[in-house]
């Protein structure tokens, strides 16, 4: 494996040599792009004594995205899910810098980035290491009318806009002498996308409507309806079948209209159009709406799309590919890393190193067990061989010849799935990368840097009516009184500061005893 190892450590070795030549070792500049889950957790763990760290982001705060649906309904306030970046710039008497710029270009050969400030003035920032954590954008799939008429749920401002639009529609119906039909149309809330974001937003709105709106807007309440449209055959497709069914039943209780197997194909000012995903010959349906919320997944930012065009090996990709050490593939510089939603991991392919692996196993009987025994060492380079990723028990194979063994390795390669674009994974990647920076990059001994291995800790979703579903490594939770308490405990400990924990608790009590705020 010396070849592979040499490639990975190339950049560091070059740096050590130049350090030696320069005599005194200077602090290297690490530039972090993005103040989201990846960027901020990297900042929390990187050693400011070892590096000059600069955080660059147009957003001077961190958003705790899992709580955004609660902001749409008013269950929580902004203070529960927003943290100023200045909270993360000081550590053990050492400080780092924050620049409120948006990065527009990465000049990787010359080791600098081009940014623009609020007034569109261009600035150059030089780096020794660059950590890209710019996340992703909501994906409209270029569907006509989405960018113009739909509301995304990506950040705090988006959530507040959604809430304001709904309250404005309520007010209009209260004051103006609209026909019954017009009121029904204006108060039709539509959520597009039955993934966790869409489901949570629909659940939160149902709570808001069935409690505060029902009490305070008695005359208008009967005109309100909520629909969720999912192009696949079930809600929460990444959870279990039981959880999807439970969610659908809960939505029936909450009077949320669920349209599965329907795809939104166009939106205009007052109507949206849906088409059956199963039968393309079925006539399109035209449905009126008052508020349409778009939660159909993510796409890459302009920065990433432009960066891809500059890397010959990645020009045809639509997302940044990094190796198992989170190093951007296709650059000779080995000093640019990417974490979070802006990348996927493409580890080295095991089957292309069959010969080296056979030598490494040093056995006459090639079988799955001998691979398993060496998997801990091998997964430092090939994460797909780890027992977390490959089920050795159900894929036992004995007495393989070289070709069979190569095929077996190929199966392991194909089985590897890149970590999904979640906060959970962005955080794990940030902790991994900062650990590598703190412990390996400046280490002059030839030690092998371990690969990143994600650990799936489960997924949680609030589905309204105090019901929470959870798909956990060893069990699943389908609602129940305890589920909501469990959800709150998980989020309280995930919040980054005591200030936001306090606000989370205060908001929870406020909603419990006084309800969500509504205009008088
Ligand atoms: P982000 O957190 O999106 O941060 C990107 C940062 O980069 C931002 O600060 C942005 O301003 C900055 N940036 C963008 N462009 C530039 C540029 N050109 N230059 C400099 N900076 C730039 N995941 C879960 O695991 N559990 C959940 O419960 C969950 N709930 C969610 C709920 C909602 C409503 C949403 C939208 C997402 C949710 N997610 C959840 C997914 C999770 O939020 C993302 O996977 C996570 O935010 C990705 O982290 P990131 O650091 O890659 O990007
Ligand atoms: P998603 O990609 O998980 O789901 C989007 C859904 O929209 C898909 O099921 C897709 O079939 C559907 N869709 C796409 N186009 C459509 C169309 N034109 N008409 C109708 N339906 C359409 O997106 P998300 O829910 O925004 O989640 C994004 C990421 O954030 C995921 O990785 C998710 O796991 C994570 N997340 C997690 C949580 C949680 O764990 N509680 C909450 C929110 C987001």
To test the pocket of ligand 2, the residue of 136, 197, 319 to mutate (highest count of ligand atoms within 8 Å of its CB) is 197
Q: Is 81 in the pocket of ligand 1 (CB under 6 A)?
A: no
Residue 209 near residue 169 (C-beta atoms within 8 A): no
Ligand 1 centroid to 430 CA: how many Å? 13
Residue range 217-227: average pLDDT?
Answer: 95
443 pLDDT band, cuts 50/70/90, is confident
pTM value? 0.94
The DSSP string of 199-219 is HHHHHHHHHHIIIIIHHH-TT
Are residues 482 and 490 in contact, defined by beta-carbon separation less than 8 angstroms? no
pLDDT at 17: 55
For 4-61, how does the pLDDT look when each residue is reduced to its tens digit (9 = 90+)? 555 555 554 555 555 555 555 678 999 999 999 999 999 999 999 999 999 999 999 9
* Mean pLDDT, range 332-340, rounded to an integer: 93
Question: What's the confidence (pLDDT) of residue 369?
Answer: 93
pLDDT at 423 (0 to 100):
97
CA atoms 348, 353, 356, 361: torsion sign: positive
Mean pLDDT of 222-235: 97
83 CA to centre of ligand 1 in angstroms: 14
What average pLDDT score do residues 199-212 get? 97
* 0.95 surpassed by complex ipTM: yes
pLDDT for 363:
87
pLDDT at 93: 87
Q: What is the mean pLDDT of the chain?
A: 93
197 lines ligand 2 (CB under 6 A): yes
Return the pLDDT at 19: 54
Query: Separation of 296 CA from ligand 1 center, angstroms?
Result: 15
Highest mean pLDDT among 1-5, 64-68, 368-372 belongs to 64-68
Residue nearest to atom 46 of ligand 1 (CA): 423
Mean pLDDT on 96-111: 97
Ligand that comes closest to the CA of residue 344: 1
C-alpha dihedral, 360 to 364 to 369 to 374, nearest 10°: -20
DSSP state of 400: B
From the CA of 306, the nearest ligand is 1
- 133 touches ligand 1 (CB under 6 Å): yes
Q: Is any atom of ligand 2 closer than 6 Å to the C-beta of 158? A: no
455 C-alpha to center of ligand 2: Å? 21
- The β-bridge partners of 275 are 263
Could you tell me the pLDDT band of residue 334, with boundaries at 50, 70 and 90?
confident
Ligand 1 binding pocket mutation candidate from 423, 488, 492, 493 (most atoms within 8 A of CB): 423
Closest CA relative to residue 34, chosen from 415, 356, 433: 433
pLDDT at 312 exceeding the cut of 80: yes
List pLDDT tens digits, range 379-405. 999 999 999 999 999 999 999 999 999
For residues 486-493, give the mean pLDDT: 96
Once rounded to an integer, what is the mean pLDDT over residues 338-366? 94
Query: Of 21, 42, 17, which Cα lies nearest the Cα of 338?
Result: 42
C-alpha distances (whole Å) from 192 to each of 112, 421, 470 are 40, 19, 22
| Minimum mean pLDDT range among 17-31, 122-136, 155-169, 438-452 | 17-31
What's the pLDDT band for 175 if we cut at 50, 70, 90?
confident
**What is the spatial distance between Cα 335 and Cα 108, in angstroms, rounded to a whole number?**
9
421 C-alpha to center of ligand 2: Å? 10
Is the distance from the beta carbon of residue 420 to the nearest atom of ligand 2 less than 6 Å?
yes
Q: Pick left, alpha or beta for residue 111 (phi over 0 → left; psi -120 to 50 → alpha; otherwise beta).
A: left
**Centre of ligand 2 from the C-alpha of residue 299, in Å:** 12
Q: Does 154 sit in the ligand 1 pocket, CB within 6 Å? A: yes
DSSP 27: P
Q: d(Cα 271, Cα 145) in Å, to the nearest integer? A: 10
pLDDT at 519: 80
Average pLDDT over residues 139-155: 97
């Amino acid at each position: 494996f010396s070849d592979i190892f040499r490639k990975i450590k190339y950049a560091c070795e070059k740096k050590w040599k130049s350090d030696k030549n320069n005599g005194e070792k200077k602090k290297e500049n690490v530039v972090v792009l993005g103040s989201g889950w990846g960027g901020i957790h990297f900042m929390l763990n990187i050693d400011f004594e070892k590096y000059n760290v600069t955080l660059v982001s147009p957003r001077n705060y961190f958003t705790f995205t899992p709580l955004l649906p609660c902001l749409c309904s008013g269950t929580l306030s902004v203070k529960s899910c927003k943290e100023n970046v200045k909270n993360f710039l000081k550590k053990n008497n050492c400080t780092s810098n924050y620049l409120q710029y948006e990065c527009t270009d990465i000049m990787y050969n010359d080791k600098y980035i081009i940014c623009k400030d609020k007034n569109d003035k261009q600035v150059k920032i030089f780096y020794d290491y660059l950590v890209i954590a710019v996340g992703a954008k909501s994906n409209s799939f270029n569907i006509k009318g989405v960018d113009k008429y739909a509301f995304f749920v990506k950040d705090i401002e988006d959530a507040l806009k959604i809430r304001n639009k709904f309250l404005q529609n309520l007010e209009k119906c209260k004051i103006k002498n609209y026909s019954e039909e017009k009121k029904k149309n204006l108060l039709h809330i539509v959520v597009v996308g039955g993934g966790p974001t869409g489901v949570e937003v629909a659940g939160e709105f149902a709570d808001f409507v069935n409690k505060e709106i029902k009490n305070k807007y008695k005359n208008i309440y009967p005109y309100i309806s909520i629909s969720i449209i999912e192009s696949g055959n079930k809600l929460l497709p990444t959870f279990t079948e039981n959880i999807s069914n439970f969610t659908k039943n809960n939505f029936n209780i909450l009077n949320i209209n669920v349209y599965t197997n329907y795809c939104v194909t166009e939106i205009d000012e007052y109507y949206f159009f849906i088409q059956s995903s199963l039968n393309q010959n079925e006539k399109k349906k035209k449905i009126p709406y008052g508020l349409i919320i778009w939660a159909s997944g993510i796409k890459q930012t302009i920065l990433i799309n432009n960066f891809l065009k500059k890397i010959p090996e990645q020009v045809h990709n639509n997302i940044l590919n990094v190796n198992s050490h989170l190093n951007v593939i296709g650059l000779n510089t080995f000093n640019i890393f990417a974490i979070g939603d802006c990348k996927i991991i493409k580890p080295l392919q095991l089957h292309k190193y069959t010969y080296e692996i056979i030598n490494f196993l040093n056995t006459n009987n090639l079988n799955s067990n001998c691979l398993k025994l060496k998997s801990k060492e091998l997964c430092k380079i090939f994460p797909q061989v780890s027992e977390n990723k490959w089920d050795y028990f159900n894929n036992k194979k004995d007495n393989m010849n070289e070709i069979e063994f190569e095929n077996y390795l190929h199966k392991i390669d194909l089985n590897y799935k890149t970590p999904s674009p979640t906060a959970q994974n962005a955080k794990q990647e940030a902790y991994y990368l900062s650990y590598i920076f703190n412990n390996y990059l400046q280490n002059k001994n030839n030690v092998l840097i371990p690969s990143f291995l994600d650990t799936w800790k489960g997924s949680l979703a609030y589905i309204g009516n105090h019901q929470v579903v959870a798909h956990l490594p060893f069990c699943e939770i389908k609602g129940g009184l305890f589920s909501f308490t469990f959800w709150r405990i998980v989020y309280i400990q995930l919040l980054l500061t005591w200030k936001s924990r306090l606000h989370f608790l205060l908001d929870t009590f406020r909603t419990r005893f006084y309800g969500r705020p509504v205009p008088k």
